[in-house]
Amino acid sequence: MNNRIEIYDAPEALAHAAAEAFITASRNAIEAYGLFTVALSGGDTPHDTYRLLGTPEFAGRVEWERVHLFWGDERCVPLNHPDSNYRLVRDTLLDRVPIPAAQVHRIRGELAASQAAVMYEGELRAFLIERDGKIDPSLREQRTFDFVFLGMGTDGHTASLFPGTHALHEEGRWVVTQEPPAPSTISRVTLIPKVINASTEVRLLITGSLKADTVRLALEGPMRPEMLPVQLIAPRHGAMIWMLDREAAARLRQEGSGSHAA
């Protein structure tokens, strides 16, 4: 795996750095392409980053009228459900920044998972065709997102790519349904690895001691993506940055190539 590791003293420092990375990437993409296309993550770790991006200090540094937001995955719950990834972003960020509603491309988690997956894939493909004027169905050269935020579970899953599931091997569809491991019973909709790996910059935000063993296994252990799906995330023409706090990085033998402490 070709990874860059950044280690921060506290989750607050990590969130600040992630918000700054978002702003830098937005400026680079808008200068190069006129648009900034992002896929966001749910979960607890990115909460503070989204909250920062919604503050006047940060929000005023982004050309929101040129931003298109997508999601890496979603739980199939009603729009205002506490587990909705969309709701997390709405409450912390969308309600605080002037992004046009038509540029918020959410996964419709209130629908049946299969229907939501088909609709979301169609919207993503249509957007890319309009943006680029052409599309490579194989995604060998196609740029999907300029920037992606991901998290990681203690079992090594990222987005809703769970160990031992069909989504890890999917090649035809871009968006699939997933049934998470027990005890959760909430169906998911997720991008497949190929779509994420056609992105320019992927940032994996991980905090807390509970994930330290998984971080070590994913970064310093053998390649076992069937057991650790996060190992499948390796942008073909872009950057993969692991953003860790000290607790999440505590079991690493070394900080790794290009590591950064803050």
pTM of the predicted model over 0.85: yes
What is the arithmetic mean of pLDDT over 173-194? 93
How much is the pLDDT for 139? 76
Identify which of 238, 160, 147, 241 has the alpha carbon closest to the alpha carbon of residue 193.
160
- Give the model's confidence band at 260: pLDDT under 50 very low, under 70 low, under 90 confident, else very high: low
CB-based contacts of 140, cutoff 8 Å, min separation 6: 236
What is the arithmetic mean of pLDDT over 173-187? 91
**pLDDT digits 0-9 by tens, 53-110:** 999 999 999 999 999 999 999 999 999 999 999 999 999 999 999 999 999 999 999 9
In degrees and rounded to multiples of 5, residue 115 shows phi and psi of -70, -40
Identify which of 154, 190, 37, 44 has the alpha carbon closest to the alpha carbon of residue 99.
37
- Cα 90 to Cα 193: distance, rounded to the nearest angstrom: 25
Specify the fold of 9-196: Rossmann fold (3.40.50)
Determine the distance from the C-alpha atom of residue 126 to the mean position of all C-alpha atoms in its chain, rounded to a whole number. Answer: 20
**pLDDT digits 0-9 by tens, 2-24:** 789 999 999 999 999 999 999 99
Q: Which long-range contacts (CB under 8 A, 24 or more apart) does 140-143 make?
A: 140/236, 142/198, 143/198, 143/199, 143/200, 143/237
How much is the pLDDT for 255? 55
Determine the distance from the C-alpha atom of residue 207 to the mean position of all C-alpha atoms in its chain, rounded to a whole number. Answer: 15
Rg of the chain in Å (alpha carbons): 17
